[in-house]
Amino acid sequence: MFQIFTGIVALSSLLSFINKKLLKLPDTIGVMLLAIVASLSIAMLDFIDHEVFVSVCAIVHEIDFRTILFDFLLSFLLFAGSIHVNLHRLLEEKGPVLIYASLGVLISTFLIGTLFYYTAGLFGMQIDYIYCLVFGALISPTDPIAVLALLKKAGAPKDMEIKIVGESLFNDGVGIVVFISLLSIATMTGGHGVEPSHIFLEFAQEAFGGIALGFVLGFIGKLFLKRIYESPIVAVHISIAIVMGGYWLASMIHVSGALAMVVMGLMIGDYLHKSCESEPLKENMNIFWKVLDEILNAVLFVLIGLEIVSLNFHPDYLIAGLVAIPIVLFSRYISVFISNIFFKKEHRSNKNKVAVLTWAGLRGGISIALALTLPEGEFRDALIFVTYCVVVFSIIVQGLTIDKVVVKLLKN
């Protein structure tokens, strides 16, 4: 596994270089696009040298995407993403952020699952309703990484930026919790005879437990940083240890490590930005986590591109994937629209902003990693393929056009 991961890191650096020099696309979009091209090139090997193609595919199949993301990348990515968020600005938009990340995810999960269930049935794909809801849960979390730079470049309103960032940080955790709850129900009972109280207890333990652990870890982190301000390198080392140890502890006590990392990152980031008097410490922490964030995101999007080689293709899966794209977009629009009703008047978005928030709701590595955790069965291959269709469309099509959408809808 070490040799494979080393190769992935090397490939991600090469693709980042090619993108920066030739394509000049936003980093994550360009890297993923080049990785997809690399995957298609590997697929073409089957027509040139079948033995080489099989050997390369065997290497790709050895990549444990789920383990790499959930056991390594996710904790660092979520902490790195949240440590740079302005907590004061986030608290100003806390109502919309929390509603989007909770109610919005639940509405999106139900809508996508229900619409996909009936639509797939029209095309002859009989997927159990509970597994359609599982698909709704895994595809609902949004990923801001690829779109944030474009939003800033297009001059999107600051309140919209913080809503998108805050929502995506928290809905990753909420989406994972909903997914785990629904999947455990699907695998244990097949979705029959499920008590609502069981779902609520699963959700409460994961979500509220993760948030509570995040507060504890954030408090501990701040104590350490206050006492080591004269040694910035040691402070960075401690932050790494707390991220890794905290995420491991979350898995041991069965609470959401994702939410714990977000809360801890926000607390430590707020201390660095407002209270820390050591400029070297702030500079070292910010630079280290910014660089690590960009490197790991490049690795993640290379993994997404390369994993295409391992997909089991079937014409019905492609049809279902193409049908799922408008379903996901429609459900995103409805979830944003309904969530908007619950905001205070000054926080509500007009119809143009709702449309931008819908189009900016990109799906990313979390969705694919969750899909790859599905147990072996008759629905697994179909749901993984459909997830890939939505994610690739989301990152490439939505990601490359969001700046134009912002200019068209918000600059008039």
Amino acid at 250: A
Burial class for 342, CB neighbours closer than 10 Å (0-12, 13-18, 19+): middle
158-189 vs 351-359: helix crossing angle, rounded to 10: 60
315-341 vs 380-393: helix crossing angle, rounded to 10: 60
In whole angstroms, what is the distance from residue 30 CA to residue 15 CA?
Answer: 8
Q: What is the pLDDT of residue 81?
A: 87
Please identify every stretch of the chain with a pLDDT value under 50, giving residue numbers as ranges.
Answer: none
Q: What is the pLDDT of residue 235?
A: 93
Closest CA to 308 of 397, 366, 396, 391: 391
Topology annotation, domain 70-410: Na+/H+ antiporter like fold (1.20.1530)
Write out pLDDT tens, residues 22-56: 988 888 888 888 988 888 888 887 788 778 778 87
Q: How many CB atoms lie within 10 A of CB 273?
A: 16
Q: What is the pLDDT of residue 236?
A: 95
In whole angstroms, what is the distance from residue 126 CA to residue 129 CA?
Answer: 9
Closest CA to 356 of 123, 85, 164, 73: 164
Q: What is the pLDDT of residue 196?
A: 59
Q: What is the pLDDT of residue 384?
A: 92
Task: Report the first-to-last Cα separation within the chain, whole angstroms.
Answer: 52
In whole angstroms, what is the distance from residue 409 CA to residue 412 CA?
Answer: 6
Q: Dig out the tokens for 263 from the structure.
A: 């809360």
Q: What is the dihedral of CA 216, 222, 223, 226, to 10 degrees?
A: 180
In whole angstroms, what is the distance from residue 161 CA to residue 151 CA?
Answer: 7
Q: Provide CB contacts within 8 A for 222, sequence distance 6+.
A: 267, 268, 271
Q: What is the pLDDT of residue 156?
A: 75
Q: What is the DSSP letter of 101?
A: I
In whole angstroms, what is the distance from residue 135 CA to residue 129 CA?
Answer: 10
Instruction: Give CA 197 to chain center in angstroms.
Output: 28
Which of helix, strand or coil describes residue 1? coil
Place of tokens 């200019």: 407
Q: What is the pLDDT of residue 263?
A: 95
Burial class for 22, CB neighbours closer than 10 Å (0-12, 13-18, 19+): exposed
In whole angstroms, what is the distance from residue 381 CA to residue 390 CA?
Answer: 15
